[in-house]
A = this chain, B = another copy of it.
Amino acid sequence: MKQSHLYTKTRKTLPSGEVAKNAQLLIKAGYIHKELAGVYAFLPLGIRVMNKIEDLIRSHMDKIGGQEILLSSLQDPELWKKNNRWDDDDVDIWFKDRDERIGFAWSHEEPMISMIEHHVSSYKDLPVYVYQFQNKFRNEPRAKSGLLRGREFIMKDLYSFTKNQDELDEFYRKITDAYKEIFNVAGIGDQTYYTFASGGAFTEFSHEFQTLSDAGEDTIYIDRDKKIAINEEVYSKEIVKELGLDEKKLEKVKSIETGNIFKFGTGYSEKLNLKYKDADGKDQFVYLGSYGIGLSRLMATVVEVLSDDGGIVWPESISPFQVHLIELTEGLGEDLYQKLLDNNIEVLYDDRQIGAGEKFNDADLIGIPWRLVVSEKTDGKVEIKNRSEKSAQLITKDEAIKKFI
C-alpha cells in the first residue's frame, strides 16, 4: 500500500484524558481512533493487526478441532435468568436496552448452550469445540486503560462440550498448549505466565495467562524458573505448598490477563439442562469449559510490553505489513515496491513528498519490523534495518526480496 493513499496520518495531539500508553501510541501512529471512554475504532493499520491476530488464533483453534461460528450480540434475558446471571446484583456490567427485554452480549455461555442443544443429543455427537470472534459489551466503570479494558472489544471465545471429566481435562491441556504457542508467536511468550486463579463455584482453579507489565491491573506471584504464577486473589501459603513452589522464590508483580481458561464441569449444564444420552441410553450432563482471548487486549499488551521511546515495535507475526519501504528521492522506490508486491510481500511504501526525518520518525512510531530505504546514496541498492536494532546494512534489491518471500 502506498502511504500517500493511506488516509490516516500520524498525530501529535491526543484526546483528553487518554492516559494509557497503548492507546496513546496506537492513536498517534494512526491505528485506532477513540470514540468514547473505553471505545475505540480500528483504522486501516489497526484492522490489519486485528486481522493478523484473528488469523493467528483461528489457525490454532482449528488445529485442535475448533469449529467457527458467530452468535449474536443481542441476547435473550430469559436464558440468563435461568442461570442467575441477568440481575445487576449478579452481573454488574450489563448493557441492557431501555425496557430490559434485550441484553447486549458481555459473554456467551448461556446462548452457546442453548444453541448446542439443537445439535447434540447423543454421546456420538460429542466432543464438540465451538468458537467465535465476537464483540463483547461491558459497561466497565473504569475504562482508563486504553484497549486493555474496553467497554466494547472483540474476543475469541471457545466453548468445549465433552462427555466427561477426562475428555474435558484432555482438551484443557491441548488448549493450554495452543495458548502458549499463540503468545509465543505474538512475541510475548517470555513475559507470559500460566497462572493459577479463582475457579469460582466450579473447580479449584481456573487458569489465566498473565503477561508481566506495569500497565496491568492484576497482581500475581511468579516463579521465574518454573514459569508459573499464582494470582493474588487465590494466593495463600497452602496453595504455594500445593503447587510445590517455594514462597521465598516468588516475586510479586503487576500483569495483564491476556487469556483465561475455565472448567465449568457440569455446573452450567445442570442449571440449563444440557444433557446427552450415553451408550446405554441414559441421560448424562455435558461437561463444559470456556476459553477466552481478547484480541484488542492482546494488541495493546504487545504495544505495552514491546514498544520503545521511538514508538511501537511489532513482532513479524502481527505487524500490519512485513516491510516499510521508504524512498528519499521521488519515484526511486517504485521499482522495488512493484517487485515486492509481485512476490506477495506485504509492504507499506512511503512515497510521500516530505523530509527524511519525518519519514523515519513515522516509521519508528508505526513499528513495522523491517525498514527498507532507497535513496540516491544507496546507489541502486537498498538499506535494510530492523526496528529494534540501530545499525543498517546495504543489500541488493534481489537480496531484499528473497529475505521476505
Interface: A68 (CB within 8 A): yes
Could you tell me if A67 and B7 are in contact, using CB atoms closer than 8 angstroms? yes
Q: How far is it, in angstroms, between the C-alpha of A84 and the C-alpha of B118 when the chains are bound?
A: 44
Interface: A82 (CB within 8 A): no
Interface: A80 (CB within 8 A): no
Could you tell me if A115 and B74 are in contact, using CB atoms closer than 8 angstroms? no
Interface: A241 (CB within 8 A): no
Interface 9-residue window, one of A38-46, A177-185, A215-223, A308-316: A38-46
CB contacts under 8 Å to B, within A86-110, are 95-98, 100, 102, 104
Interface: A306 (CB within 8 A): no
How near does chain B come to A139, taking the closest CB pair, in angstroms?
8
Interface: A119 (CB within 8 A): yes
Q: How far is it, in angstroms, between the C-alpha of A47 and the C-alpha of B54 when the chains are bound?
A: 15
Assuming the A-B contacts A73-B152, A98-B98, are A33 and B118 also in contact, with contact meaning beta carbons closer than 8 angstroms in the complex?
yes
Q: How far is it, in angstroms, between the C-alpha of A95 and the C-alpha of B73 when the chains are bound?
A: 12
How near does chain B come to A96, taking the closest CB pair, in angstroms?
6
Assuming the A-B contacts A97-B97, A104-B104, A111-B35, are A44 and B68 also in contact, with contact meaning beta carbons closer than 8 angstroms in the complex?
yes
Q: How far is it, in angstroms, between the C-alpha of A137 and the C-alpha of B42 when the chains are bound?
A: 19
Shortest Cβ distance from A111 into B: residue: B35
Could you tell me if B72 and A41 are in contact, using CB atoms closer than 8 angstroms? yes
Contacts of A63 in B (CB 8 A): none
Contacts of A7 in B (CB 8 A): 67, 116, 119-120, 125, 128, 130
Interface: A341 (CB within 8 A): no
Interface: A36 (CB within 8 A): yes
Interface: A70 (CB within 8 A): yes
Q: How far is it, in angstroms, between the C-alpha of A46 and the C-alpha of B115 when the chains are bound?
A: 14
Q: How far is it, in angstroms, between the C-alpha of A35 and the C-alpha of B73 when the chains are bound?
A: 10
Contacts of A46 in B (CB 8 A): 69-70
Could you tell me if A69 and B43 are in contact, using CB atoms closer than 8 angstroms? yes
Interface: A9 (CB within 8 A): yes
Contacts of A98 in B (CB 8 A): 96-98, 100
Could you tell me if B35 and A72 are in contact, using CB atoms closer than 8 angstroms? yes
Contacts of A73 in B (CB 8 A): 73, 135, 137, 152
Could you tell me if B47 and A68 are in contact, using CB atoms closer than 8 angstroms? yes
Contacts of A151 in B (CB 8 A): 74
Interface: A362 (CB within 8 A): no
Q: How far is it, in angstroms, between the C-alpha of A206 and the C-alpha of B42 when the chains are bound?
A: 29
* A binding-site residues for B, Cβ under 8 Å: 5-9, 11, 30, 33, 35-36, 39-44, 46-47, 50, 65, 67-76, 95-98, 100, 102, 104, 111, 114-116, 118-120, 125, 128, 130, 135, 137, 139, 151-152
Query: Can you name 17 A-B pairs with beta carbons within 8 Å?
Result: A5-B65, A7-B67, A8-B119, A35-B72, A35-B74, A35-B76, A36-B102, A41-B69, A42-B70, A46-B70, A73-B137, A73-B152, A74-B137, A74-B151, A95-B104, A96-B98, A97-B139
